[in-house]
Chain A
Amino acid sequence: MILLAKIGLGFFGTALVAGAVVSSEGFIHVKVNEKQTDGHHISLVVPAMLVPLTLEMVPNHYLAPAAQNLRPYMPVVDAALSGLANCPDGTLVEVTDHEQHATVVKQGGSIVVDVQDPDETVHVAVPLRATRNAIHEIADAGGTI
């Protein structure tokens, strides 16, 4: 009985640690609502940590051209992402016209993009740390910088 309890505790502990690790970099949230009567409603929540992990599995030759283009700009990308991470929360960009409304907001450790137009609403939230890791993963393809 005690052995079973210990095994159960082991599984529970492992699941808890795995959950904590997977969610450590936050979640990417994509939500699309089409306003037509037969429109699609998509809501996707993905642990951000999975993106760089998935990119790691992509064969290098697929990412090499992108890596080559990206490498010269990595200092700027790093500076921009670290600057964004350190700056206070707030609306960075807001565009409104007679039909559309779009915002780019820094919220916590994420960049949140919301777009509303007569046909659909789109909400995308991406954690900055995961973005940085994913971009580095692409830039490192075919050899470390």
Chain B
Amino acid sequence: MTNTLRTGLVGLAALCLSAAALAAPPSRYLHVRVDDASNQEKVRVNIPLSLVETVIPAINHGQFHGGEIDCGDLRANGVDLRMILDAVKNAPDGEFVTVQAPDKDVRVAKSNGNLIVHVTEKGDKKKVDVTIPWAVAQALGSGTDKQINLEAAIEALEKAGDTTLVTVTDEDQTVRVWIDSRNTAD
């Protein structure tokens, strides 16, 4: 009797563990948060990435076709942007561009597998920080020659860890765009 009970409990535990292992991964969300101190306005948007993934391939309007955006030639002045992306991907972490102007500072860097862009506008005290995981940047450039592959980028975002993608702050407003597995923005 004890043996049967023990075997049953072990079986039940194994079943629970298998179920946990096979459980679907948590849904990923794209969040947008806007706080405007000047009129006490707050906006919170929480969009499941699965929803974005379903809708984007269905859009066929203007330059938007089958999950890709037609943006002309991805070559600028004979420079292949895709090749540059590949080259930068294999380069070590570091700063690639630093511009210091009287009204604006710009910094482009690669750090921990992310492409990072910082812009500071001194006049209106605006700061923009953009962090793009490399997998997402690569996916964006994975379309045909003249297209940005948005669908692949969303798929790559879904696999990326929790990341703040964009932060914009000025005297009145704060905007933050990020992804994580929570369905609330606070």
Task: Indicate if the CB atoms of B48 and A87 lie closer than 8 Å.
Answer: yes
| Complex partner residue of B57 from A72, A79, A89, CB under 8 angstroms | A79
Task: Indicate if the CB atoms of B54 and A80 lie closer than 8 Å.
Answer: yes
Task: Indicate if the CB atoms of A76 and B41 lie closer than 8 Å.
Answer: no
- Enumerate chain B residues within 8 angstroms of A94, measured Cβ to Cβ: 42-45, 185
Q: Which single residue of chain A is at the shortest CB-CB distance from B58?
A: A79
Given known pairs A83-B51, A87-B48, the reply for A97 and B183 (CB within 8 Å) is: no
Separation of A95 and B40 alpha carbons in the complex (Å): 11
Residue A108 at the B interface, CB < 8 A? no
Residue A92 at the B interface, CB < 8 A? yes
Task: Indicate if the CB atoms of B45 and A93 lie closer than 8 Å.
Answer: yes
Secondary structure dominating the interface of A: mixed
Given known pairs A80-B51, A82-B54, the reply for A91 and B46 (CB within 8 Å) is: yes
Task: Indicate if the CB atoms of B39 and A98 lie closer than 8 Å.
Answer: yes
Task: Indicate if the CB atoms of B42 and A97 lie closer than 8 Å.
Answer: yes
Separation of A76 and B51 alpha carbons in the complex (Å): 11
Q: Which single residue of chain B is at the shortest CB-CB distance from A74?
A: B58
- Enumerate chain B residues within 8 angstroms of A98, measured Cβ to Cβ: 39-40
Interface string of B34-64 (1 = CB under 8 A from A): 0000011111111110111111011111000
Residue B27 at the A interface, CB < 8 A? yes
Task: Indicate if the CB atoms of A91 and B184 lie closer than 8 Å.
Answer: yes
Nearest Cβ in chain B — how far from A101, in angstroms?
9
Q: Which single residue of chain A is at the shortest CB-CB distance from B52?
A: A83
Which interface class (under 10, 10 to 19, 20 to 34, 35 or more) fits A? 20 to 34
- Enumerate chain B residues within 8 angstroms of A90, measured Cβ to Cβ: 29, 46, 48, 183-184
Task: Indicate if the CB atoms of B27 and A88 lie closer than 8 Å.
Answer: yes
Task: Indicate if the CB atoms of A95 and B47 lie closer than 8 Å.
Answer: no
Nearest Cβ in chain B — how far from A91, in angstroms?
6
Nearest Cβ in chain B — how far from A75, in angstroms?
4
The B100-134 residues at the A interface (CB cut-off 8 A) are none
Task: Indicate if the CB atoms of A87 and B46 lie closer than 8 Å.
Answer: no
Task: Indicate if the CB atoms of B41 and A87 lie closer than 8 Å.
Answer: no
Nearest Cβ in chain B — how far from A69, in angstroms?
13
Separation of A133 and B94 alpha carbons in the complex (Å): 54
- Enumerate chain B residues within 8 angstroms of A119, measured Cβ to Cβ: none
Task: Indicate if the CB atoms of A96 and B48 lie closer than 8 Å.
Answer: no
Nearest Cβ in chain A — how far from B27, in angstroms?
5
Task: Indicate if the CB atoms of A78 and B44 lie closer than 8 Å.
Answer: no
Given known pairs A78-B58, A90-B184, the reply for A96 and B42 (CB within 8 Å) is: yes
Which residues of B line the A interface, CB within 8 A? 27, 29, 39-48, 50-55, 57-61, 183-185
Smallest CB-CB A-B distances: 9 pairs = A83-B54, A90-B183, A79-B58, A83-B51, A87-B48, A94-B44, A97-B41, A98-B40, A75-B58
27 contacts between A and B (CB under 8 A): A75-B58, A76-B59, A78-B58, A79-B54, A79-B55, A80-B51, A80-B55, A83-B48, A83-B51, A83-B54, A87-B27, A87-B51, A90-B183, A90-B184, A92-B47, A93-B44, A93-B45, A93-B46, A94-B45, A94-B185, A96-B43, A97-B39, A97-B40, A97-B41, A97-B42, A98-B39, A98-B40
